[in-house]
Amino acid sequence: MSSYQSINPANNQLLKSWPSHDEAAVSHALEVADRLFHSSWSKGDIQPRLQVLKKLADLIDSRAEELATIASKEMGKLIGQSRGEVKICSQIARYYAENAERILQPQSYPSDLGEAWVEYHPIGVLVAVEPWNFPYYQLMRVLAPNLALGNPVLAKHANIVPHCADVFEKLVREAGAPEGAWTNLFISTDQVADLIADDRVQGVALTGSERAGSAVAEQAGKHLKKSTLELGGNDVFVVLDDADLDEAVRQGVQARLSNCGQVCTAAKRFILHEKIADRFINQFSAALSSATLGDPLDEKTTLGPLSSADARDRLVKQVDEAVANGAKLVTGGKAVEGAGCYYQPTILTGITPDNPAYYQEFFGPVAQVYVIGDDQAAVALANDSHYGLGGSVWTRDIARGRKLASAIETGMVFINSQSDTSAELPFGGVKRSGYGRELSDLGIKEFANQKLVVVA
């Protein structure tokens, strides 16, 4: 039986099984990708590659409803949010179609050694290991910059979203990309390791758990390959005493319900100033507990299922353990009875540093709430984390917000907004949230040979 199965998490029905790629297929895919890298497609004029991205953006827009429905059925995202994900994918493709040539222009370096500049060249075949939570966006973040640059990609998607993986590969081909530019592989983690070890592969990008990131980084390190990692996050949502409370509550609720809380950069630790804490908790709790659970394809649903039974069971265990270690439930705290992988919106308070939950990421509709007395305490609590992905700060005093944003040890901070993503902005973290950046000018240069040329 293939481990690549499409199962609707709203009712646990098996939609389709997908055959795995055997050794011969993987070997062929690598050969084709490497040949492409040595051809004029990768090494020549950028325009044909940008034309593919432009066509891909148009294709995605024209097939948006079909793509959104596939994702919603396969991993439980609400249909409106799936449409949003599809939209940002076409925006990313279009952004690189329109900006990659400018970003990749050689850059001059004033030097006493002579006329000096850095050129940007592709480095070779890459492996991308991607997760299910944004089953198209995660792929597009790797595809668009690397297609523009000329790096062919072998992609191993999460085993619960094979339909999204398959349809994405077909779209890239339909947009005119040659065979090998983006190859979807239904393979095991051992096969990923074999690919990383192969001399023809020059880098690996992974988004996923710490466990997967650590394994892949170890393999990449052993074989001296470049890697980028985008791992978990335990992002703070700091609400100060002068914040616009209604807006903070509204976006805080969105952060916990959107994609059923399964977003690496979504707010997970709510750090509230003591002057507004009770009011925030009351409003937040009322809004979360009135969420409408249901079918992701029903427009009235505001909270869908988790992506899989495994994801739900992991969350059940974590919340039970947090409560057993002294955390208090303000609302929720249980899986929903019935066929689908639903979990109640949940708020936990009273989490002390000796509770295992204190350092854990809850990948679901669970909020941890902490109360602090001043800005210094907010920063100290924010930085007392193994993770360092994103975060947000809520205050009407922008100078105060900027001070906190600078002091928080993460790769991204938003003031008066929950975390967000856009093609032109870099995305990534520090500490155990990983390293390297995706998107923007920084993302496209991660897997470039930044080659210095000097004329003496």
- Kindly tell me which of 85 and 230 has the beta carbon lying closer to ligand NDP: 230
**Distance in Å, CB of 317 to ligand NDP, minimum:** 11
- Kindly tell me which of 358 and 394 has the beta carbon lying closer to ligand NDP: 358
- Kindly tell me which of 50 and 144 has the beta carbon lying closer to ligand NDP: 144
Which residues lie closer than 8 Å to 206 by C-beta, 6 or more apart?
A: 128, 129, 130, 212, 213, 216, 217, 227, 228, 229, 230
**Distance in Å, CB of 234 to ligand NDP, minimum:** 9
- Kindly tell me which of 207 and 251 has the beta carbon lying closer to ligand NDP: 207
How far from chain centre, in Å, is Cα 424? 15
- Kindly tell me which of 208 and 305 has the beta carbon lying closer to ligand NDP: 208
Q: Token match 């009235």: residue?
A: 300
**Distance in Å, CB of 419 to ligand NDP, minimum:** 12
- Kindly tell me which of 232 and 411 has the beta carbon lying closer to ligand NDP: 232
**Distance in Å, CB of 208 to ligand NDP, minimum:** 3
SS3 235: strand
**Site residues for ligand NDP per CB under 6 A:** 129-131, 133, 156-159, 189, 192, 207-209, 212, 215-216, 230-232, 264, 361, 363
Helices 162-174/47-62 angle, 10° precision: 130
**Distance in Å, CB of 412 to ligand NDP, minimum:** 13
**Distance in Å, CB of 429 to ligand NDP, minimum:** 9
Measure the CA–CA gap between 223 and 199, rounded to whole angstroms. 9
Give 388-404 as a DSSP string: ES-EEEE-S-HHHHHHH
Q: Is 264 a catalytic residue?
A: yes
Among candidate residues 230, 361, 438, 446, the one labeled active-site is 230
Q: Is 89 a catalytic residue?
A: no
Percent composition of the chain: helix, strand, coil (DSSP 3-state, to 5): 45, 20, 35
How far from chain centre, in Å, is Cα 45? 31
Q: Beta 235-239 vs 434-435: how paired, if at all? A: unpaired
Looking at the DSSP bridge assignments, the partners of residue 448 are 122
Among candidate residues 130, 264, 361, 438, the one labeled active-site is 264
Q: Report H helices in 306-417.
A: 309-324, 375-383, 398-407
Residues involved in catalysis: 230, 264
